[in-house]
Amino acid sequence: MRDIAHTGITVTEAVGADLPIVRLPTATTGFVGRALRGPVNRPVRVRNYSEYQQVFGGLWQPSMLSYAVEQYFDNGGREAVIVRVVNGGAPATISLPCGDEKLVLEALSPGTREVLRASVDYDNIAPSEEDRFNLVLQRVRTLGSEQIEDQEIFRRLSTEPGTTRFITSALQESLLVRVRGAVPNARPDRTFRAGARHPIGYVDSNPDGDDGSPLTDYDLIGSAERGTGLFALRDVEDLHFVCIPPPARDRDIGPGVLLVAAQFCRDHRALLVVDPPAAWQTADDALQGLRELAFQSDSAFICFPRVQAFDRLRGRYEPFANSGAVAGALARMDSHGSPWDGLPDEQVLLRPGTRPLQMLTDADCQKLTAQGVNPLHAVRASVASTAQLKTLARGTGAGPESSLLTFRRRQLLTINSIESGTRWARFEGRDRNTWSRLARQVHAFLLGLAASGAFGKSADTQHFAVLCDERVNTVDDLRSGVVHCLVSLPTQRSGEHRSFMFTHRLEGSTVRAVNPRQLPPGTRFTVREPPRPAIDGSLEDTGPRRTLAQELFAPTPEQRPAVSSGTLRPEAAAARRLDLNLIARLYGESERRGDRF
């Protein structure tokens, strides 16, 4: 991923076993849509609208993305990851004379606003080096402008194939152009400015770029296999919100985009900010439209109504989808009330430059909140001051708390921080000491969250558990370099927990949910193994013994008799037998599908 604020070589220190787990940022927002220019299907991180304008060209009337990003930063957004998608389009070219032939360079980014120019000189090139030349590439604001936005210099390039500075190979490092077609035998001529003797002129790009057609839902979704469209965000590790603005002013995104985006966010533990359709003009319209849409997901949330903001290109206030403004407002709210802090929810308030398209009454706010729609305000309202922000789970999540937006955000941030901060275990999976080191690291992180009130103020809600030993790791796991860590996090209900299995291997890391099994307080039970058929009465069974985790969760191997559910029954704990009280109370059978990283 490109970071506009950091160019060249950067060095990042990964979290190790001796370093504390770091809390991830709370509001990094990914945007997918059409832009005036810039790299295609490649995420670019920007931290203000000036950086967006430098890379993607600023406001453009056919681009709802450009307006959404502007409203995001206007309302307090701090960090955005932009993915530009196109429908067709063609890049501009630069034709450099090479005697009777031409060397054609092609812009990496399609569009009519990608204005490039090139200069060729022979400075510090010996007369005998007839294949060598220097090349300067520049992106300028407009054709004929001297306002340079980006520049690249390539020295001692060659037109001779097989050399270390062959132009086709050297320009693979360029962020602006590539070579199109064959390279002429002769090197490019010097570029002279008309009427001058010095090679200070430039060759401008040809007017053959094309912006392409308006986006379709397929362009926004993209391809998971090729990493295009929405799936270009899959490698953004700190992604928290995802916004997909409408493809045009008079169009909403289709239900297919919503379904794919919600599943993407679920797989990558992020939250989709859903835009209300333009047809939702009143609170009753929103409630009726929500019933007709029949869209439910604990990885998505929606705010109503749409917003009204000043369109600097049209010179008047215009209605817009609200996802960018909502994500920016939440990012601003996190600066004084982060989800990590466990504070009560606040209303989603817009800054003065952006205001709701309709004013909501107290009754409207109550009805919307009851159905999982978060009211959007320009000034603080009275009734909604204590209302909790909601997701679109609407009773379909893993528990009642999955409908609470702030709790869901905190849960996802906690899981992502643990997964990211314990990746060092991938490379030390064959060391048994890794288990205790990883458990201590995770326990210290959760202890800090509990101390800051992230899990609530009562003693019951602050209880958590971390398990990383032979009960969840087998001898085969140790040999294969696989490490499992079981983490149980408290919910808002006293005595209830949500548990997750973190698995690290050299190929990557996964996180999967674990279904809890609740038993009455104080219940203790043991597991009796069914008698095994003896091979020889005089010989003991010397085969590998199954671990506790295998006895509880794994299917019985075929060579052993099947164990019916009736053979595992609770009873009083006997002497010298395994006590499974903690595990039976908190952990159950694992879900088959995990989130892959």
Tens of pLDDT, residue by residue over 399-424, are 788 899 999 999 999 999 999 999 99
44-46 vs 80-84, strand pairing mode = antiparallel
Q: Name the most confidently modeled range: 480-484, 531-535, 558-562.
A: 480-484
Q: Which residues does residue 203 pair with via DSSP β-bridges, in sequence order?
A: 118
CB burial string 436-462: b at 16+ within 10 A, e below: ebbbebbeebbeebbeeebbeeeeebb
* Beta strands per DSSP E along 305-356: 307-311, 316-320, 348-349, 354-356
Nearest one of 239, 236, 230 to 28, comparing CA atoms: 239
pLDDT score of 567 more than 80: no
Structure tokens that stand for 482 in this block: 């696989």
Residue with the bigger pLDDT between 14 and 73: it is: 73
pLDDT score of 588 more than 50: no
pLDDT given at position 564: 43
Residue spans of the domains in the chain: they are 22-86+214-406, 93-204, 422-597
The residue behind tokens 């999976």 is 429
Average pLDDT estimate for 304-308: 96
pLDDT given at position 491: 83
User: CB within 8 A of 468, min separation 6: which ones?
Assistant: 435, 436, 438, 439, 442, 483, 484, 485, 486
Where does residue 516 rank: exposed (0-12), middle (13-18), buried (19+ CB within 10 A)? middle
Give the pLDDT band (50/70/90) at residue 455: confident
Helix 362-370 vs helix 283-293: crossing angle, to nearest 10: 10
pLDDT given at position 12: 55
Average pLDDT estimate for 464-492: 91
pLDDT given at position 201: 84
Q: Which of 119-133, 470-484, 555-569 has the lowest mean pLDDT?
A: 555-569
pTM for this predicted structure? 0.81
pLDDT score of 207 more than 80: yes
Average pLDDT estimate for 178-203: 82
pLDDT score of 199 more than 70: no
Residue 546 DSSP code: P
Q: How confident is the model over 484-540, as pLDDT tens digits?
A: 999 999 887 777 888 999 999 999 999 998 875 544 454 444 444 455 555 444 444
* Beta strands per DSSP E along 24-165: 29-33, 44-46, 80-84, 93-98, 101-107, 116-121, 132-140, 148-158
Phi, psi dihedral angles at 2 (to 5 degrees): -85, 135
SS3 231: helix
Structure tokens that stand for 184 in this block: 């002429």
Task: Give the Cβ contact number of residue 404 at 10 Å.
Answer: 22
pLDDT given at position 397: 73
CB burial string 485-500: b at 16+ within 10 A, e below: bbbbbbbeeeeebbbb
Nearest one of 173, 132, 131 to 152, comparing CA atoms: 173
CA distance 271 to 405: 9
Give the pLDDT band (50/70/90) at residue 182: very high
Start-end of H helices in 356-429: 362-370, 405-421
Average pLDDT over the chain, rounded to an integer: 84
Residues 390/301, Cβ–Cβ less than 8 Å: yes
Average pLDDT estimate for 50-76: 95
pLDDT given at position 278: 94
Residue with the bigger pLDDT between 473 and 344: it is: 473
pLDDT score of 158 more than 70: yes
Give the pLDDT band (50/70/90) at residue 595: very low
pLDDT score of 150 more than 70: yes
The residue behind tokens 């019916």 is 564
Given the candidates 3.90.25.10, 3.40.50.2300, 3.40.50.11780, 3.40.50.1000, the CATH classification of the domain at 22-86+214-406 is 3.40.50.11780
Average pLDDT estimate for 237-249: 95
Residues 474/550, Cβ–Cβ less than 8 Å: yes
CA distance 414 to 454: 10
pLDDT given at position 383: 55
pLDDT score of 75 more than 90: yes
Give the pLDDT band (50/70/90) at residue 563: very low
pLDDT given at position 566: 43
Phi, psi dihedral angles at 440 (to 5 degrees): -65, -40
Give the pLDDT band (50/70/90) at residue 290: very high
- Edge to edge, the sheet with strand 316-320 lists 316-320, 307-311, 354-356
Cα distances (angstroms) measured from residue 195 to each of 94, 96, 191, 445: 22, 19, 12, 69
Task: Give the Cβ contact number of residue 536 at 10 Å.
Answer: 7
DSSP percent split of the chain into helix, strand, coil, nearest 5: 25, 20, 50
Nearest one of 285, 359, 276, 360 to 322, comparing CA atoms: 276
Average pLDDT estimate for 561-579: 41
Start-end of H helices in 294-379: 323-334, 362-370
pLDDT given at position 537: 45
Cα distances (angstroms) measured from residue 361 to each of 161, 348, 364: 72, 15, 5
